[in-house]
Amino acid sequence: MKVPVYGLKGEVKGEVTLGKAFSHPARKDLIRRAVVSEESRTRQHYGADPLAGKRTSAKYIGTRSEKGSMMNKEMARSKRITAGGYMHWRARFNPNNVKGRRAHPPLVEKVWDKKINRKEMLLALFSAVSCSSEKAMVKSRGHDVEEVKHIPLVLEDGFQELKKTSQVEEVLTALGLGSELERCSEKKTRAGRGKTRGRRNIRKKGPLIVVSEDKGISKAAGNIPGVDVSLAGKLKVGMLAPGTLPGRLTIWTRSAAELISNPAAAKPKQ
């Protein structure tokens, strides 16, 4: 598949032949599995204190002849404190008692990782790349691509050398992404308890910039709301399909597009 290569001012600078990764059949099921697998590895392990609710002298005495026996007392046979005083016969330790342990606490040993075969991950990556190359899928995901000159959008390698946010915005506007940047600049307040848990605002995902070398473009484009930058060698399925929804608007540099066309170079690491 041959696509035009655009310059920094929106003019056509030549053509580039893209590999089979850009025309691969869409596999939404594999894309979903790959994204879930990637996100599961970033989940932080958590668990309760193993001794929570067990730091007590309460015990159960069932022998009739022993002092403090609970036999024939007409009381529940729970572990109780027998030290005397106002805490005498107070039930502790059991899950149904006050200040007792939890019945089924979360364990730190739980494995959250969801595995996926290496070949399936590679297949999902190529499928996500091809979905981002179809204008219908990009438009159905919510991106404003009416004025975009071409999809997939390939730029010359000089784009990855930009070091100012204003320069990146000028290039994107010249390529017809002005309305897309306006769409991503809107910010909404989340409904529910998430407002108090560090995720108060919601912002839409914008274009993804894929480069072969980072020569300043990550800092320049990182200040634009909704825009993300990734190296072609470290490209993940979750970047191309946020929320397991494929078809994200992607901007490629020429060298990055040639690199992703080579399966050996684009093989993900596990």
pLDDT reported for residue 264: 58
- Pick 2-27+114-260's CATH classification: 3.40.1370.10, 3.40.50.1000, 3.50.50.60, 3.30.70.3340: 3.40.1370.10
pLDDT reported for residue 40: 95
pLDDT reported for residue 19: 87
pLDDT reported for residue 266: 46
pLDDT reported for residue 120: 94
- Crossing angle for the helix pair 28-41 and 118-131, to the nearest 10 degrees: 120
| 3-state helix/strand/coil string of 138-179 | HHHCCCCCCCCCCCCEEECHHHHHCCCHHHHHHHHHHCCCHH
pLDDT reported for residue 76: 85
pLDDT reported for residue 54: 93
How far from 129 is each of 56, 172, 235, 236, CA to CA, in Å?
A: 59, 20, 10, 10
Tokens coding 263: 């399966």
- Give the sign of the dihedral formed by CA 164, CA 170, CA 175, CA 179: positive
The DSSP bridge pattern shows strands 2-6 and 12-17 to be: antiparallel
Domain ranges of the chain: 2-27+114-260, 44-111
Q: Which residues pair with 3 in a beta bridge?
A: 16
Half-sphere exposure of 18 (CA within 13 A, CB side): 24
How many residues does this entry show for the chain? 270
pLDDT reported for residue 10: 85
Tell me if 186 sits within 8 A of 205, measured CB to CB: no
pLDDT reported for residue 268: 47
The residue type of 112 is W
pLDDT reported for residue 210: 94
pLDDT tens per residue across all 270 residues of the chain:
888 999 998 889 888 888 888 888 999 999 999 999 999 999 999 999 999 999 998 988 887 777 778 887 778 888 988 887 888 888 999 999 999 999 999 998 999 999 999 999 999 999 999 999 999 999 999 999 888 888 889 999 999 989 999 999 999 999 999 999 999 999 999 999 999 999 999 999 999 999 999 888 999 998 899 999 999 989 999 999 999 999 999 999 999 999 987 655 445 444
The Cβ of residue 171 has, within 10 Å, a number of other Cβ atoms equal to 21
The Cβ of residue 149 has, within 10 Å, a number of other Cβ atoms equal to 15
263: Cα separation from own chain's centroid: 24
Q: Which residues pair with 253 in a beta bridge?
A: 155
* CA Rg value for the chain: 29
Location of structure tokens 């392990």: 45
- Spatial distance between the Cα atoms of 72 and 189, rounded to a whole number of angstroms: 61
How far from 268 is each of 111, 116, 155, 247, CA to CA, in Å?
A: 22, 12, 24, 20
How far from 193 is each of 106, 150, 187, 198, 200, CA to CA, in Å?
A: 22, 41, 18, 10, 9
Tell me if 229 sits within 8 A of 256, measured CB to CB: no
